[in-house]
Amino acid sequence: MAQAYVTLEVSGGVGTIRLDRPPMNALDTAVQDRLRELAEEAGRREDVRAVILYGGEKVFAAGADIKEMRALDHAAMVVRSRALQESFTAVARIPKPVVAAVTGYALGGGCELALCADIRIAGAGAKLGQPEILLGLIPGAGGTQRLARLVGPSRAKDLIFTGRQVKAAEALAIGLVDRVVPDGEVYEQAHAWAAKLAQGPALALRAAKESVDAGLGTDLETGLAIERNWFAGLFATEDRERGMRSFVEDGPGKAKFL
C-alpha cells in the first residue's frame, strides 16, 4: 500500500515525490520507508534533475501515525528511530535541488520532511510546527537539528518547547519558509523553481548543495577545503567548458546545459 501512498512522477527533468495518504498524509513506517526508496531513486535517475516534495492541494503532512507509534515500546523505538531518521536523511541528501511545496498542515514529521528540502514554498494558509512536546516527546526525525540550523536555536526552542503552530506569514518572517504564495499556486510556483534549475549545470548544482550542507556541519577551515575541492573539480566538466564558452561568445546567462 505504501507504493500507492508515495509516488515519484517525472516530467521535463522534474521529479515530484507525492504523498497521497488521505486524509492527512500521516507518515507511518511504510510511508517513511517508501520515502527513503524514492529519495534514493530520484538521486540516481539521470532524468531527474530537480525534485518537488508535495502532499497535494489540502495538506502537506500532519505528522506521524500516532496510533501506530503508540503501540511501540522503548525497545521497538530504539530500533525504529534510526530507520525513521535515515528515511528523512535520504531526502535531505538527494544530490539535486529539492523544493517543498507546502499546503495546509506541515506538522511534526511533516515539518521535519519540509526541513529536508533546500527551500520551502508555502501557501498563505499553511501552518507549520513541531507539536511533539504535547505528546510528551521531542521531534525524532531531525527536527531538533535541522530546525535549529535553519531558524536559529532560540526560535527552534520556542517552537519545540511550546509545540505551537505558526502560520505562513510568521514562518516566512523567522525563515522557516522562503516564499509565501496563494494556496492555489503552491505547486505551480514550486514547479517553476524546480524546472528552472533542472535546466542548469547538474554537477555544479550538486557541488553547491554538498558544499553548503557539508560545510554547515564542520569548522570554517574544513568547509573552505570542501568548497575548494569541488570548485577545482568542476574545471574537469563539460558544463564548465560550456558555461565559460557561452559567456565569452554570447554574454552572461545564456549557456544551455545538457
What is the SS3 assignment for 60?
coil
Q: Which member of 132, 140, 142, 198 is catalytic? A: 132
Q: Which member of 39, 50, 64, 168 is catalytic? A: 64
User: Residue 167: beta bridge partners?
Assistant: 127
Q: Using CB atoms within 10 A of its CB, is residue 46 exposed (0-12), middle (13-18) or buried (19+)?
A: exposed
Contact assessment for residue 225 and residue 82, using Cβ atoms and an 8 Å cutoff = no
- Nearest-angstrom CA–CA distance, 207 and 234: 8
C-alpha cell of residue 65:
501515525
Q: Which member of 42, 112, 198, 207 is catalytic? A: 112
- Nearest-angstrom CA–CA distance, 2 and 92: 20
- Nearest-angstrom CA–CA distance, 68 and 220: 42
Q: What is the DSSP letter of 24?
A: T
Contact assessment for residue 7 and residue 44, using Cβ atoms and an 8 Å cutoff = no
C-alpha cell of residue 123:
501557501
Q: Which member of 43, 108, 109, 243 is catalytic? A: 109
User: Residue 64: beta bridge partners?
Assistant: 27
Respond yes or no: is residue 117 known to be catalytic. no
What residues have CB less than 8 Å from 115, skipping those under 6 apart?
142, 143, 146, 147, 150
What is the SS3 assignment for 128?
strand
Respond yes or no: is residue 106 known to be catalytic. no
Respond yes or no: is residue 109 known to be catalytic. yes
Q: Active-site residues: which are they? A: 64, 109, 112, 132
